[in-house]
């Protein structure tokens, strides 16, 4: 990634999103009437939840729109966490809106809550919102941790497409609501927000991948088996350098194969770009990743990116520690080859359960010898002594507090290592991490 690439920091994005929520609440407050009847109170609560829920849906979609400036600055894994954590509150607001609206209508018309909810469905905008809410609840149910573990990534991705339909139906309902339709300004601003998010989604998730495919004409040239369940896919094209993929970054790859085209896989380069050649190394983690080993040379590749902030741009030029868990070695292998450090100032720790899980081992050892870098394999089951505990890390890297740390692995490992690094005096600003996205 070039130094001039724009990047939005997590603080700036978080502040902007919070300011938007305050503005939406202000829009609601400006329209509230000081009436203390039960139906008016229920309706006021419904309107506030509806406005915040609609805004929350926009935020959820924007976080996953793959805007390069946002992904470069915030990081794709952090965006995914924000998206996941925001899903439950947004769904709760949508459900609360429906419940409060039914209670308000029940109080005004002298009906029971269920009877009132059914009666409201005769209004087309409300019926559309009800269908949209059900679709969003389906997406939320599939994303629940207990369900997510039992559902393939491909099924999860397919169900998530319903979130676009749910959001669109909710927007149609909001246009007829008393807050948005209260003035032309409100209607224009609300419509503009939705239009911007819709355009961004279409542009970065559909138009850009097609444009890049036509420009660079990437195709698979070779598929190599690295270990059981692990393959390397080599691709080549035209003017590949113009993609600007830095070591440590990833693209979302979509392969024009009948079994793979439906899913864009977020995968890091496992080596720096070599002329017009790119390389990814993948561990099977679902139907699509398992099918990569069957790719044929000549298969067209659609790439979107680059994304990710785990690059040498975040390094201050001093000593560095790279710490990988499992297939998280792939972006760090590229950094291990290219990270600028003083002599003797580069160390790679590679965590795996046993030797057979080590990927790209010969390449790592050749790089370590050529650069005079330290390379340690931390082997052992989770039930055994933890080689990433604070004391163990400090014994391997005594000057740990002086280093910039680059970390990639499973989410649980990443969180545990961050805590261990903090206990050893490594400032948070010098810890740069990325978790698995599959």
Contact 49, 100 (CB under 8 A): yes
Q: Do 430 and 295 share a structural domain? A: no
Residue 33 — very low, low, confident or very high, per pLDDT cuts 50/70/90?
A: confident
Same domain, yes or no: 46 and 176: yes
**Residue 297 forms part of a structural domain:** yes
Q: Domain check: are 155 and 290 in the same one? A: no
Same domain, 294 and 176: no
In a domain, 83, yes or no: yes
Mean pLDDT along residues 378-394:
80
pLDDT in tens, 319-378: 999 999 888 898 999 999 998 888 888 999 998 888 878 888 899 999 999 999 999 998
C-alpha 385/C-alpha 381 separation (Å) is 8
Give the helix ranges, DSSP H, for 182-239: 184-202, 208-216
Q: Is the pTM of the predicted complex or chain greater than 0.85?
A: no
Residue 187 within any structural domain of the chain: no
**Per-residue confidence (pLDDT) for residue 383, from 0 to 100:** 62
The pLDDT tens digits of the residues spanning 228-257 come to 788 899 999 888 888 888 888 888 888 888
Domain of residue 298, residue span:
215-307
Q: According to the model, what pLDDT value does residue 288 have?
A: 61
CATH number of the domain encompassing residue 382 = 3.40.50.80
Mean pLDDT of 42-71: 90
Q: What pLDDT score was predicted for residue 18? A: 94
For residue range 76-127, what is the model confidence (pLDDT) as tens digits?
778 888 988 898 999 999 999 999 989 988 988 888 888 888 988 888 888 8
Q: What is the pLDDT of residues 403-421, one digit of tens each?
A: 999 998 888 888 888 988 8
Among 163, 182, 201, the domain-final residue is 182
206 within some domain: no
The CA distance from 216 to 6, in Å, is: 23
136 and 40 together in one domain: yes
What percent of the chain stands above pLDDT 70? Answer: 95
169 and 20, same structural domain?
yes
Q: 84 and 232, same structural domain?
A: no
- The total domain count for the chain is 3
pLDDT value of residue 365: 92
C-alpha distances (whole Å) from 67 to each of 63, 231, 264 are 8, 29, 15
Instruction: With beta carbons less than 8 A apart as the criterion, state whether 113 and 102 touch.
Output: yes
Same domain, 288 and 317: no
Residue 298 in tokens: 């000549």
Crossing angle of helices 124-143 and 162-175, in 10° steps, is: 150
Instruction: Give the domain-ending residue among 307, 323, 358.
Output: 307
* 302 and 316 together in one domain: no
């Amino acid at each position: 990634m070039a130094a001039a690439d724009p990047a939005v920091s997590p603080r700036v994005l978080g502040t902007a999103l919070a300011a938007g929520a305050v503005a939406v609440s202000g829009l609601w407050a400006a329209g509230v009437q000081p009436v203390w009847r039960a139906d008016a109170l229920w309706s006021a609560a419904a309107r506030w939840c509806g406005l915040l829920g609609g805004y929350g849906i926009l935020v959820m979609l924007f976080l996953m729109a793959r805007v390069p400036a946002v992904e470069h600055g915030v990081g794709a894994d952090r965006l995914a966490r924000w998206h996941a954590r925001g899903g439950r509150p947004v769904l709760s607001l949508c459900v609360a809106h429906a419940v409060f609206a039914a209670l308000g209508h029940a109080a005004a018309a002298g009906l029971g809550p269920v009877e009132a909810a059914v009666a409201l469905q005769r209004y087309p905008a409300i019926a559309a919102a009800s269908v949209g809410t059900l679709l969003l609840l389906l997406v939320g149910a599939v994303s629940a941790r207990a369900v997510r573990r039992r559902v393939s990534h491909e099924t999860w991705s397919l169900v998530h497409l319903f979130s676009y339909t749910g959001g669109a139906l909710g927007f149609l309902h909001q246009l007829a609501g008393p807050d948005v339709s209260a003035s032309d300004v409100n209607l224009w601003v609300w419509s503009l927000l939705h239009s911007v998010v819709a355009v961004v989604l279409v542009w970065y998730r559909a138009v850009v991948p097609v444009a890049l495919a036509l420009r660079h004409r990437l195709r698979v040239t070779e598929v190599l088996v690295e270990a059981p369940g692990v393959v390397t896919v080599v691709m080549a094209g035209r003017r590949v350098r113009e993609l600007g993929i830095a070591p440590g970054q990833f693209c979302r790859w979509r392969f024009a194969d009948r079994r793979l085209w439906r899913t864009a896989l977020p995968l890091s380069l496992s080596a720096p770009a070599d002329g017009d050649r790119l390389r990814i190394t993948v561990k099977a983690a679902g139907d699509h990743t398992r099918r990569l080993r069957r790719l044929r040379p000549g298969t067209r590749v659609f790439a979107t990116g680059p994304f990710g902030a785990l690059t040498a741009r975040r390094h201050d030029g001093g000593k560095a520690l790279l710490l990988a868990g499992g297939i998280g070695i792939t972006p760090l292998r590229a950094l291990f080859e290219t990270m600028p450090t003083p002599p003797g100032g580069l160390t790679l720790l590679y965590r795996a359960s046993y030797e057979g899980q080590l990927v790209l081992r010969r390449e790592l050892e050749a790089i370590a010898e050529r650069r005079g870098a330290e390379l340690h394999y931390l082997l052992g089951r989770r039930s055994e002594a933890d080689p990433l505990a604070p004391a163990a890390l400090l014994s391997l890297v005594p000057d740990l507090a002086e280093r910039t740390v680059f970390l990639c692995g499973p989410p649980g490992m990443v969180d545990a290592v961050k805590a261990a690094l903090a206990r050893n005096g490594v400032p948070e600003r010098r810890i740069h991490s990325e978790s698995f996205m599959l």
